[in-house]
Structure 1
Amino acid sequence: MSTWDDATEPEARGTGPVGWLRALLRGSVLGVVTYGGLMLLLFVRLIERPLFGVARPWTPSITTTVCRSAFPIMGIRYRVRGAPMEHIGAVVANHGSWLDIFALNACQRVYFVAKSEVANWPGIGWLARATGTVFIRRDPREAKAQQQLFEDRIRAGHHLLFFPEGTSTDARRVLPFKPTLFAAFYSHGLEKVMQIQPVTVIYRAPEGEDPRFYGWWGKMNFGPHLLKILAAPRQGEVEVVFHEPVDVADFPSRKLLAAHCEAAVRSAMPEEA
């Protein structure tokens, strides 16, 4: 029996010479804004780091501005419901596309937790490192060191953002949250002082396109997917929904906390295909 992730990437309409020209124009502007912002961030960080160390009072504003600008450049409508928490803690969200990086950075100061392979991805890896992403290896021997890193960053006031599904989807569903990473919130009394905020990212495809248009999953290559979106004659919408933060101390186990966050994220999603 086939499953949703057996499906091939949906084809886009309206490609051709005009689509290529549209992609070139949008891509050029997006590249200038993104990498121009990165150059500015690296320059400011040279001043910021000696003064504040691990704290980043200035550079996250650059990241937020660049990511917010990406959506009008691509022609994608962008909406936010609710507000990001200010309390010490972490954020968990569903993962439907590489666009999540822009969508979730555009409305809050957050630092992603990503698999170590992302650090070596062309272009994206450089951006991720510069913006303070935490890279982790799926190696049990490094679990304690990684947990300590999470704790240090959270206690420093960084809102780390986790994707507990463990993989991206077709942006039409929420996969079961894996409780493993939630263990990092139950160490050295951290659970007594921190909160978790669930966040739902919702993608609505352009009119007439496959509902999975923005989804990025399986073995899809980044380049063709980016080109498809940049070339689209009509765009859809992305909406970020902030749910109420919860105290980690209210949940006696990581499994209960993961289940609550999954239910909150799932509650805002349109009916799954």
Structure 2
Amino acid sequence: MWRACPRGIGPSTKGIAPVADTWHGPPEPARRALGLAEWLRILRRGLPLVATLLICFPLLLLLRLPERWIWGLKRPVTPYLTQLVCRVGCRCLGLTRAVTGKPMKTPGAFVANHVSWLDIFVLNAGKRMYFVAKSEVAGWGGIGWLARATGTVFIRRNRAEAAAQTKLFEDRLIAGHQLLFFPEGTSTDGHQVLPFKTTLFEAFFAKRLRDRLHVQPITISYTAPAGADPRHYGWWGDMDFGPSLLQILATPGKGHVRVAYHAPLSVAEAPNRKALARAAEEAVRGGLQADGAA
């Protein structure tokens, strides 16, 4: 089963990620019993989502070939298809979105707090971006296929490959891609922001990038449906993907998520990666505190 111990994006599988990668917070919320009404709600919400995925992702893969041949790393078509799928996904999952602030238009990267596998739908629904994930994700059935199809950048936690990864980041950013990664390194219950890890920030200080890039912090804040546990959308510890998905589909009512885009941070004005990471973390944490979640 896929478990909630991601570093970067997506769930992990048992035995892949070390224990230190997982945030072990409070016990998970009690699960809703799945009776007839819940299973009918799961089918009503889930079938349109499955149908959308079955139609749109094969189409995305077909379009990716000529798109790559004509435009190379630049992808002027398929990100819109990904965005459509994620908007439909949010609707099917009973999640309404609100956005404050504006995403930057300049080259650069986004960094956000990590609450759930839902973050992928929520962030892609509002802005065309490319996620950064650990390399293991590429080999996971289903999740890995979707990640590759949407243009995820895969990285290895290996110092020997740091130069190659920096080059990959540079090429994607110079091509105009806006990358998104989760510096906390793991998902939580959504009620706090963990200290940001600074390693990936180093790539933005490369000679080809430093004077032209910005990093924009994003705060993701979820509100559970009426009557549900406030941590309803969180995904942490040893939670499995399947039960989490079923609980969200089965819960009556609609939840809410606010995506707050904060002021972009100039890489050129930051003295080093630690200072840049600290400024981004403070902005994200402040956004969560403004919503009363931290």
Q: Deviations over 1:48-106 (max 9, x none)?
A: 11110111001101111110111222221111112211101111011000000000101
Cα distance in 1 for residues equivalent to 2:183 and 2:128: 19
User: Which amino acid letter does the alignment assign opposite residue 285 of structure 2?
Assistant: R
Spell out the pairing of 1:99-110 with structure 2 (5 A cutoff). 99-110=118-129
| Percent of residue pairs bearing the same amino acid type | 56
Structure-2 residue corresponding to 1:266? 285
Structure-2 residue corresponding to 1:75? 94
Of 143, 146, 155 in structure 1, the residue corresponding to residue 162 of structure 2 is: 143
Of 232, 247, 250 in structure 1, the residue corresponding to residue 266 of structure 2 is: 247
Spell out the pairing of 1:147-162 with structure 2 (5 A cutoff). 147-162=166-181
Task: Say which SS state the counterpart of residue 216 (structure 1) adopts.
Answer: coil
Structure-2 residue corresponding to 1:222? 241
Spell out the pairing of 1:111-150 with structure 2 (5 A cutoff). 111-150=130-169
Structure 1 runs (4+) deviating above 3 angstroms are 12-15
Give the unaligned 5+ runs of structure 1.
Answer: none
1:173 paired to 2:192: yes
Query: TM-score, normalising length from structure 1?
Result: 0.95
Cα distance in 1 for residues equivalent to 2:53 and 2:99: 21
The 1:86–1:38 alpha-carbon spacing in structure 2 relative to 1, beyond 3 Å, is same
User: Which amino acid letter does the alignment assign opposite residue 136 of structure 1?
Assistant: I
Q: Deviations over 1:99-153 (max 9, x none)?
A: 0000010111100001112112221111100110011111111111111111111
Of 28, 35, 40 in structure 1, the residue corresponding to residue 47 of structure 2 is: 28
Cα distance in 2 for residues equivalent to 1:72 and 1:115: 28
Alignment root-mean-square deviation, CA: 1.4
Cα distance in 1 for residues equivalent to 2:197 and 2:292: 22
User: Which amino acid letter does the alignment assign opposite residue 68 of structure 1?
Assistant: R
1:14: how far off? 6.1
Structure-2 residue corresponding to 1:210? 229
Task: Say which SS state the counterpart of residue 92 (structure 1) adopts.
Answer: strand
User: Which amino acid letter does the alignment assign opposite residue 183 of structure 2?
Assistant: P
User: Which amino acid letter does the alignment assign opposite residue 97 of structure 2?
Assistant: Y
Q: Deviations over 1:156-214 (max 9, x none)?
A: 11101010001111111111111111001011241111111111111111112211110
Give the unaligned 5+ runs of structure 2.
Answer: 1-22
Q: Which moved more, 1:5-14 or 1:91-100?
A: 5-14
Task: Say which SS state the counterpart of residue 109 (structure 2) adopts.
Answer: strand
Task: Say which SS state the counterpart of residue 210 (structure 2) adopts.
Answer: helix
